[in-house]
């Protein structure tokens, strides 16, 4: 593996192993660990299901822990970039430290736009304390522009009207609003502290509907328990990061709406 191109956005190195540009309409997904690892579990399934190619990665010797990902004998960067046709997917199993998030988030939104993405789709979990008892999961959405809102027309999901979002996805939404970028976040009810592949599957089904990209979730649901077993260490570390970010604010009711 050698770099085709590399550039720095602030303290972050964006490396590409080959040249690529999204076909139209271009969609981007950014998946980082959050409640129930819903985003990363879903993204990992999408990469596999669509046979996406790893075309680049992001690193920072200043802001990210000194990590190298070893994948099929190859050394990869901690934040990985996958691509196929009109879909770009940025994937990380690590949450960058809080002080680095604003800079990284800004760079990510600029990057996906420059690669030809017209929409940014974020998929995460919305933790509910009684998840243990709930079988039918509800999905909420937040759109940053009227064009992004068009995506969910006719899809059976609920607008998230009032409340708080805490973590990297909150920053990605704010940055999208600032840059008038078409972003939408899908938030499916999930566990906070346990990996939740069922919530990931529900997000993917909605993602398929709004983008027209066919992604079967049968295998994801069949493998749900194996994924829960595999994800234990990642989840354990992420829970610690989420607590530092005061993720529990999401349970709070805003006093003024």
Partner 1 sequence: MSYEDEFDRLIKRIRELEKKTWEYIESEMRRAFTEVRREFESVERMLSPSWSHDGYLKPLYSIRDEGNYYAIYIDLPRVDEGSIDVRFKENKVLIRAKLKERMKLSPWSGRGGEIGFTEYREVIEVPVSRIDPKRVKVITRKRFVKILIPKD
Supply the DSSP symbol for 212: -
Residue 66 binding partner 1, by CB under 8 A: no
Stretch that binds partner 1, among 14-22, 164-172, 202-210, 224-232 (CB under 8 A): 224-232
Give SS3 for 149. helix
Q: Could you tell me if 181 and 105 are in contact, meaning their C-beta atoms sit under 8 angstroms apart?
A: no
Residue 229 binding partner 1, by CB under 8 A: yes
List beta partners, residue 121.
29, 184
CB of 37 to partner 1, least distance (A): 11
Nearer to partner 1, 161 or 233 (CB): 233
Q: Angle of helix 101-114 relative to helix 168-179, nearest 10 degrees?
A: 50
Residue 178 dihedral angles phi and psi, to the nearest 5°: -60, -40
Among 132, 136, 255, 257, the residue binding partner 1 under the rule CB under 8 A is 132
Q: Could you tell me if 212 and 163 are in contact, meaning their C-beta atoms sit under 8 angstroms apart?
A: no
Query: Other C-beta atoms within 10 Å of 49: how many?
Result: 18
# residues contacting partner 1 (CB under 8 A): 20
Among 68, 75, 226, 252, the residue binding partner 1 under the rule CB under 8 A is 226
Among 45, 106, 115, 228, the residue binding partner 1 under the rule CB under 8 A is 228
102 Cβ contact list (under 8 Å, min separation 6): 171
Nearer to partner 1, 70 or 253 (CB): 70
Residue 246 binding partner 1, by CB under 8 A: no
Binding site for partner 1 (CB under 8 A): 70, 129, 132-133, 193-195, 224-230, 232-233, 235-237, 240
């Amino acid at each position: 593996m050698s770099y085709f191109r590399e550039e720095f956005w602030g303290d972050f190195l964006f490396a590409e192993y080959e040249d690529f540009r999204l076909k139209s309409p271009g969609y981007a997904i950014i998946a980082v660990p959050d409640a129930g690892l819903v985003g990363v579990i879903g993204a990992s399934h999408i990469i596999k299901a669509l046979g996406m190619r790893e075309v680049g990665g992001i690193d920072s010797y200043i802001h990210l822990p000194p990590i190298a990902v070893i994948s099929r004998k190859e050394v990869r960067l901690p934040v990985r970039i996958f691509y196929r046709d009109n879909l770009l997917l940025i994937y990380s199993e690590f949450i960058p430290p809080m002080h680095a998030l604003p800079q990284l988030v800004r760079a990510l939104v600029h990057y996906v736009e420059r690669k030809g993405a017209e929409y940014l789709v974020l998929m995460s979990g919305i933790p509910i304390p009684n998840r243990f008892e709930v079988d039918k999961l509800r999905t909420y959405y937040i759109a940053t522009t009227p064009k992004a809102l068009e995506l969910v027309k006719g899809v059976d999901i609920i607008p998230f009207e009032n409340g708080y979002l805490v973590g990297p996805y909150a920053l990605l939404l704010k940055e999208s609003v600032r840059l008038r970028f078409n972003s939408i976040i899908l938030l499916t009810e999930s566990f906070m502290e346990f990996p939740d592949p069922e919530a990931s599957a529900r997000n993917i089904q909605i993602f398929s509907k709004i983008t027209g990209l066919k992604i079967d979730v049968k295998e994801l649901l069949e493998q749900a328990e194996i994924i829960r077993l595999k994800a234990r260490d990642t989840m354990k570390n992420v829970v610690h990061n989420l607590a530092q970010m005061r993720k529990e604010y999401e349970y709070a009711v805003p006093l003024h709406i």
